[in-house]
Amino acid sequence: MPSVLALFAHPDDIEFVAAGTLALLSKRGWDIHLMNLANGCCGSTTTSREETARIRLVEAKQAAGHLHATHYEPIFNDLEIAYTQDAIIHLLGILRRAQPSIILTHAPVDYMEDHMQTCRLAVTAAFAKGVPNYPDPSDKRYRDAYYSDVTIYHAQPHGNRTPLGQVVRPGLGVFVDGVMQTKQAMLAEHRSQQQWLKESQGMNSYIQTMFDLGSQVAGMFRSRVAEDRLGKYAEGWTRHLHLGFSAKEIDPLQEALGPLAIELV
């Protein structure tokens, strides 16, 4: 069974930009693995850090349940995700256990550091999976290296723009209309975020924001694909350079999803 690992920063990040793609892969028999690196402890104006983290872990697990996914617990507090050896080694253990052929993660340039640091950690862990001398092979706590191909796909940055306002056009659009009900249900599990996102980021409805962003991505492909053929909503992905990760340039996401995955050329 092929597997996919989604590595994102906070609880609900996966649901905003990747849940549709994951749902489509799940329907095609892929093994789904999900991890939020941060625990969401700062995502509230009404509960303590500890209580907020507890609530958000429950919500994340409930969201993962919609895909019968394997869920890995966070290793950082919010705003503390850092590019450290301990974090790389932790993620490396997950990669070597799950052995994904696809990794989904944040864009290298995004609106906050937690997202960008998560991206850096995901890329390094993916590279290191096939390095037998990292970490120290004499330490038997760690799994052995493995050498199969892996392809990294970067999600759209928040708002489909860079922090300086430039519109980001993805290389691949995955049309997710057929699984929007699942994507919406997964995001709705993060019910604690309705008040927080409204007060902190001006999102009157985080569900509507998810629809709006997906509609924007689909619009970027409108010259290539008629709406009545594929739909109104898409998730955007940009493929990481294959060097160091696969012997040749491959696109397993497009191969798996066929006509639902459209290249933007």
Query: Domain containing 38 — which CATH number?
Result: 3.40.50.10320
Count of CB atoms within 10 A of residue 1's CB?
5
Other residues' Cβ atoms within 10 Å of the Cβ of residue 103: 26
For residue 230, the model assigns a pLDDT of 75
Q: For residue 207, what pLDDT is reported?
A: 87
* Domain, as residue range, for 184: 3-263
Supply the DSSP string of 38-102, one letter for each residue.
Answer: B--TT--SSS-HHHHHHHHHHHHHHHHHTTT-EEE---B-TT-----HHHHHHHHHHHHHH--SE
* pLDDT at residue 197, rounded to an integer: 66
- Residue 82's pLDDT is what? 98
pLDDT at 198: 67
Q: What is the pLDDT of residue 174?
A: 97
Q: For a pLDDT cut of 70, what percent of the chain falls above it?
A: 94
Number of domains in the chain: 1
Residue by residue, pLDDT tens for the chain (265 residues) are 899 999 999 999 999 999 999 999 999 999 999 999 999 999 888 899 999 999 999 999 999 999 999 999 999 999 999 999 999 999 999 999 999 999 999 999 999 999 999 999 999 999 999 999 999 888 877 788 999 999 999 999 999 999 999 999 999 999 999 999 999 999 999 988 877 666 666 655 888 889 999 999 999 987 766 666 778 999 999 999 999 999 999 999 999 999 999 998 6
DSSP string, 175-189: E-GGGHHHHHHHHHT
Do residues 170 and 264 make contact, with C-beta atoms less than 8 angstroms apart? yes
Quote the CA–CA distance of 177 and 232 in Å, as a whole number. 7
pLDDT tens digits for 135-174? 988 887 778 899 999 999 999 999 999 999 999 999 999 9
